[in-house]
Structure 1
Amino acid sequence: MTPSIAKPAVRTPWNAQSWLSLLLGTALLPFATLYTIIPVAAWLAPVFLLRFSRTQPLAVALPVVVLAQVLGTFGTLRTDYFDPPMSPAMLAGFCLGYGLLLALPYIADRLLAQRLFGRGLVLAFPLALTTLHWLLSFSPFPTWGSPAYTQVGNLPLVQLVSLTGLWGLVFLMAWLASAVNAAWEERFSADGLRRYALPFVLVLVAVLLYGGARLAFAPTPQTVRVAGLAPNPQLWSYPPVQQIAAASQLERDAFRQKVQPGLQDLFTRTELEARAGAKLVVWAETAAWVVQEDEAVVLERARRVAQQEGIYLQVGMGVINRTPSHPYATNYSLLFDPQGRVLWNYHKAYPVPIGDAAEIEPGERAVPIVDTPLGRWAGIICFDGNTLSFVRQAGQARVDVMLIPADDWRQNRFDHAHSHFFRAVENGFSLVRPTAKGYSVATDAYGRMLASTDYFATSQPTIIANVPTKGVSTLYAQIGDVLAYLAVAGLAVLLGLAVYRERGRA
């Protein structure tokens, strides 16, 4: 008996079930990228949108799916996500452009559905979606909006990224949509479920078993007490950097007086944490804003504190130059050892394109790495952690502890922190991430939370954690984006096959 294969659905524009699928998929989209409150939304939204696309005439499916993605993007961002807010015209343009990009995998699937059947068609959507998100990782906002990040609370599932990076998880989530739709087109017959749903279920079970075993059998290494300090919200705010850089001496002196209480608070809390047993104290990104003429004084004080308290101290400095032109400031982290020696002076390598890129020059794109008696450490700053190949320098060097001081804003504080959880699991290091205007966290190399605090929920945003001094080796750190390359190659093969079949028909 010849087994059945998935065939294109009957396409009629007034199919009520089809339009219901569209409504369900579009309603789920705002929860399918940045937010973790409904993790299953990132799995289900593509199921319904793909169903709509495959059951509508091409002239209806393509523009409506694009519109759904645009509306979903707007529902995700609303009008208050960015800080400062985008103008209505800029927000509309962003939603339109991003929505068009997110619609591309559906368009590819819809076009290939006319030419491919069976398992080839099941692969088309996950290969296209994985390819798209890999390409977006080279955009000015790398990996922003990846559906993988919505799964941060499912630690057994997240362990997959230690093997494949984000791409294995993105592929798996998209595979569900195409597998369900293939079985749907077979009316969920036993043969259709066996051919299309069963392979997905078996792989998903294997992934969860791997993740569960990885967590269950994780070694218990020695730890070091670490304190991460974000600045006091009552004493600190992000300054008008360009204005102060070009200001008169009188205005600069007024700024110097304004920041003194915040600086004193940081040093006082550093000393308290050291005396409470912390061996490493890490300040948030630009926790210490100073004018150029005070830079040396603040650094000398930090050196003395590290030496007197016998701790490793990384200070987050924002130094405002005296200049009317770019660069107006420098943004760097400087790590002192217990003898007061400088172990690294690292300048932020990837400024935010619509943020501090207007104020600072990027630093060298080399992750600083040092060996200490408490493990091998590395340090980068905030948005640097979004560039996968850059962070993987630490994974390839088998770093044990990664310091990522950050400065976010209220609306993005959780999704940005979640993205850095994944860097820890991908590369096998523990993460220490004190964050101004954001969500400060410390995790181990498996993404397990060690400490956290919300900058907007406390007057003393400090995290204290016993951080493992030994990381773990991961496959992804060594092989990088191999799965993404395979997805690109696989999609190219399917496109070539579709063209070949089309020519054969002609």
Structure 2
Amino acid sequence: MKTSSSPSPQGFNVNKINPLWYLAIGVATITLSHMTFSIEVMAWVSSVPFLIYLSLTQGWKSRLTFFLAFVLAWTLVVAKIISEPIPLVLTFLYSIPISLFHLPAYLAWSRFKNQKYALFLFPVIMIIMEWIQYTFTPLASWGVAAYTMHDNVSLIQTVSLFGLAGLSFLIYWVNVSIATIILKRKTAISTFQLPVIMLFLLIVFGSIRYDLSKSNGVDTVTVAAVGTDSEVSGLPLPSKKSNEQNKTALFERTRTAADGGAKIIAWNEAALFIMPEEEQEWIKSIKELAIELNITLVASYVTPISQTPFRYENKYQFIDSSGNITHSYLKHQPVPGEPAVQGTSPLKVIDVTGTKIGAAICYDYDFPYLAKEYGELGADMVILPSSDWRGIDPVHTEMAAFRAVEQGHSVLRSTRFGLSAAITPYGEMASQMSSFDGNKKIMYAQLPAKGVTTLYSIIQDSFVYLSIGFLLFFIVTTIRSKKSAPTIQRS
């Protein structure tokens, strides 16, 4: 592994520290920044040690060592969300691909960091690769930098402007600016004043937007998330007796929620396992329940279609207060490895007393494109039957809040093995209930009857497309500068 050095003023000198220490620090900062048990402030410096390492070292051995350390960092990140019943091998199915998606930005910056406009090369490539990941791969948006701000309601408002890409760009811009300042021992407008000003303005914008959302009263609708006693997630299937007990408890809680004033009720994902030969009778019973209680019911359940190999339909029935099934829905984005039949039907919104309501299932809403489709359909609220596990609780529900802010609609997330939440179009948890707490598995909430229009719902991924344009511009200008550079004649 080759190292490069350059003279620097007295004081702290990055060259005096073994470059491997920067890798070790980088592993720690990445691990502390993402997913569960994360420290928000670490995200603003998480890439800095890796960028410094790449700047100080050269050669293929250096880059290989960096990649192995980077994979280790993301393996530790993903390992934080692995708990029963998820197998440990799933760690590498996410950590290695995420590392590969992030790798080009680091390598490109280390190669061209002295070129004009190179400061923006790192954040631009990072958000392009994140966008490719959550738009075109089954990895969804896990590992996206913007999610590190899930506890910062002011900064979350940024995604109403430019989506995940805008907030991720700011985080990566700050990271590369800090690394540049440390390496060059000087500041510039683009490495200090501009990112600081932009961060300040976005915090001010987010604070004002969030506060203004509470300055005027809005019409609301009473909703409820109702949980199941079923803990079945695969084979063996539940016995007929236990299934009947779970059904009875689920119906009783639904009646209690309706008596409490809920007009829209959502069950969690896989609330029950219904055998194919029993499904028609089952559907009849839930239609009668909706009529009896005069409610709109999103009834989510699983129908096994084979046991060797194990395959099932992960679905919901959307039933109006007249007992009509407005539509059925199969999960559009099964989790990698989930033996579910993938749904392909067009999304629908249903007008319920003036509120346009759509629905999806759990992992579906880790994909911004699906929420964008509901934005285009004018959804005011999206119901999200979900089933998590201890490792991704509560971060998975907090990720759904980003979809709400992006598209300006409320989200009702009814969750088994995790956090149920009623989320406003501003990312606020109007109500929440953990299935791990002692409770009656009924969560009530008041959600706005109407959504709000966001800039992002109009311009969609324009910020990403501009970034692609910048990358092409950078490539062209770099090639031209190399061609026009004077050559040294040898005699």
TM-score, normalised via structure 2 length = 0.90
> For the residues of structure 2 that align with 1:79 and 1:273, how far apart are their CA atoms?
35
Equivalent residue for 2:203? 208
In 2 relative to 1, CA 79–41 (structure 1 residues): closer, same or farther, beyond 3 Å? closer
Equivalent residue for 2:231? 236
Equivalent residue for 1:10? 6
Deviation at 1:61, TM superposition (A): 4.4
SS in 2 for 1:328: strand
In 2 relative to 1, CA 498–307 (structure 1 residues): closer, same or farther, beyond 3 Å? same
1:165 to 163, 169, 174: 163
Q: Aligned ranges for residues 140-289 of structure 1 at < 5 Å?
A: 140-188=138-186, 192-218=187-213, 219-232=216-229, 235-240=230-235, 255-289=239-273
Deviation at 1:379, TM superposition (A): 0.7
Please, what is the CA RMSD of the aligned residues? 2.5
What is the one-letter code of the residue matched to 1:10?
S
What is the one-letter code of the residue matched to 1:149?
Y
Deviation at 1:97, TM superposition (A): 4.2
**2:405 aligned with 1:430:** no
> For the residues of structure 1 that align with 2:46 and 2:414, how far apart are their CA atoms?
34
SS in 2 for 1:318: strand
The 8 Å contact of residues 34 and 76 in structure 1, kept in 2 or not, is answered as: yes
**2:321 aligned with 1:338:** yes
SS in 1 for 2:452: coil
Equivalent residue for 1:107? 107
> For the residues of structure 1 that align with 2:119 and 2:190, how far apart are their CA atoms?
10
In 2 relative to 1, CA 50–220 (structure 1 residues): closer, same or farther, beyond 3 Å? farther
What is the one-letter code of the residue matched to 2:322?
Q
In 2 relative to 1, CA 338–91 (structure 1 residues): closer, same or farther, beyond 3 Å? closer
Deviation at 1:503, TM superposition (A): 3.3
**2:475 aligned with 1:495:** yes
- Moved segments of 4+, more than 6 Å: none
> For the residues of structure 2 that align with 1:496 and 1:340, how far apart are their CA atoms?
61
Deviation at 1:258, TM superposition (A): 2.1
What is the one-letter code of the residue matched to 1:40?
V
User: Residues 255-300 of structure 1: CA distance to partner in whole angstroms, max 9, x if unpaired?
Assistant: 2222111110000000011111111111011202111222222222
> For the residues of structure 2 that align with 1:70 and 1:112, how far apart are their CA atoms?
23
What is the one-letter code of the residue matched to 2:436?
F
What is the one-letter code of the residue matched to 1:312?
T
The 8 Å contact of residues 406 and 433 in structure 1, kept in 2 or not, is answered as: yes
The 8 Å contact of residues 285 and 407 in structure 1, kept in 2 or not, is answered as: yes
Deviation at 1:483, TM superposition (A): 0.9
Percent identity (aligned): 24
What is the one-letter code of the residue matched to 1:364?
T
Deviation at 1:55, TM superposition (A): 2.4
> For the residues of structure 2 that align with 1:80 and 1:476, how far apart are their CA atoms?
30
The 8 Å contact of residues 269 and 415 in structure 2, kept in 1 or not, is answered as: yes
Q: Aligned ranges for residues 382-401 of structure 1 at < 5 Å?
A: 382-401=362-381
Deviation at 1:194, TM superposition (A): 3.5
The 8 Å contact of residues 229 and 462 in structure 1, kept in 2 or not, is answered as: yes
The 8 Å contact of residues 36 and 80 in structure 2, kept in 1 or not, is answered as: no
**2:55 aligned with 1:54:** yes
Equivalent residue for 2:10? none
Q: Aligned ranges for residues 429-468 of structure 1 at < 5 Å?
A: 429-458=409-438, 460-468=440-448
Of the structure 1 ranges 401-410 and 489-498, higher mean CA displacement relative to structure 2 is found in 489-498
User: Residues 326-350 of structure 1: CA distance to partner in whole angstroms, max 9, x if unpaired?
Assistant: 6833221112222222222222222
What is the one-letter code of the residue matched to 1:213?
I
What is the one-letter code of the residue matched to 1:275?
D
In 2 relative to 1, CA 328–169 (structure 1 residues): closer, same or farther, beyond 3 Å? same
**2:132 aligned with 1:135:** yes
> For the residues of structure 1 that align with 2:209 and 2:14, how far apart are their CA atoms?
48
The 8 Å contact of residues 257 and 442 in structure 2, kept in 1 or not, is answered as: no
Length, aligned pairs only: 475
Equivalent residue for 1:307? 291
User: Residues 74-98 of structure 1: CA distance to partner in whole angstroms, max 9, x if unpaired?
Assistant: 211238716554465x755754443
> For the residues of structure 2 that align with 1:186 and 1:87, how far apart are their CA atoms?
42
Deviation at 1:361, TM superposition (A): 1.9
The 8 Å contact of residues 47 and 176 in structure 1, kept in 2 or not, is answered as: no
Equivalent residue for 1:250? none
> For the residues of structure 2 that align with 1:481 and 1:9, how far apart are their CA atoms?
41
The 8 Å contact of residues 36 and 151 in structure 1, kept in 2 or not, is answered as: no
**2:301 aligned with 1:317:** yes
Of the structure 1 ranges 291-300 and 472-481, higher mean CA displacement relative to structure 2 is found in 291-300
Q: Aligned ranges for residues 56-135 of structure 1 at < 5 Å?
A: 56-59=57-60, 61-78=62-79, 81=82, 84-86=85-87, 91-92=91-92, 95-114=95-114, 116-117=115-116, 120-135=117-132
Gapped regions of structure 2 (runs ≥ 5): 8-12
Of the structure 1 ranges 489-498 and 370-379, higher mean CA displacement relative to structure 2 is found in 489-498
Deviation at 1:231, TM superposition (A): 1.0
> For the residues of structure 2 that align with 1:297 and 1:173, how far apart are their CA atoms?
53
TM-score, normalised via structure 1 length = 0.87
Equivalent residue for 2:460? 480
> For the residues of structure 2 that align with 1:121 and 1:267, how far apart are their CA atoms?
60
The 8 Å contact of residues 140 and 353 in structure 1, kept in 2 or not, is answered as: yes
User: Residues 2-35 of structure 1: CA distance to partner in whole angstroms, max 9, x if unpaired?
Assistant: xxxxxx9739996317554433222111122213
In 2 relative to 1, CA 36–102 (structure 1 residues): closer, same or farther, beyond 3 Å? same
> For the residues of structure 2 that align with 1:19 and 1:326, how far apart are their CA atoms?
47
SS in 2 for 1:376: strand
Equivalent residue for 1:247? none
What is the one-letter code of the residue matched to 2:149?
Q
Gapped regions of structure 1 (runs ≥ 5): 1-7, 245-253
In 2 relative to 1, CA 329–171 (structure 1 residues): closer, same or farther, beyond 3 Å? same
Of the structure 1 ranges 298-307 and 152-161, higher mean CA displacement relative to structure 2 is found in 298-307
Deviation at 1:309, TM superposition (A): 1.6
The 8 Å contact of residues 36 and 150 in structure 1, kept in 2 or not, is answered as: no
Of the structure 1 ranges 70-79 and 311-320, higher mean CA displacement relative to structure 2 is found in 70-79
User: Residues 105-129 of structure 1: CA distance to partner in whole angstroms, max 9, x if unpaired?
Assistant: 1111001125x04xx0211111111
> For the residues of structure 2 that align with 1:405 and 1:390, how far apart are their CA atoms?
15
The 8 Å contact of residues 440 and 453 in structure 1, kept in 2 or not, is answered as: yes
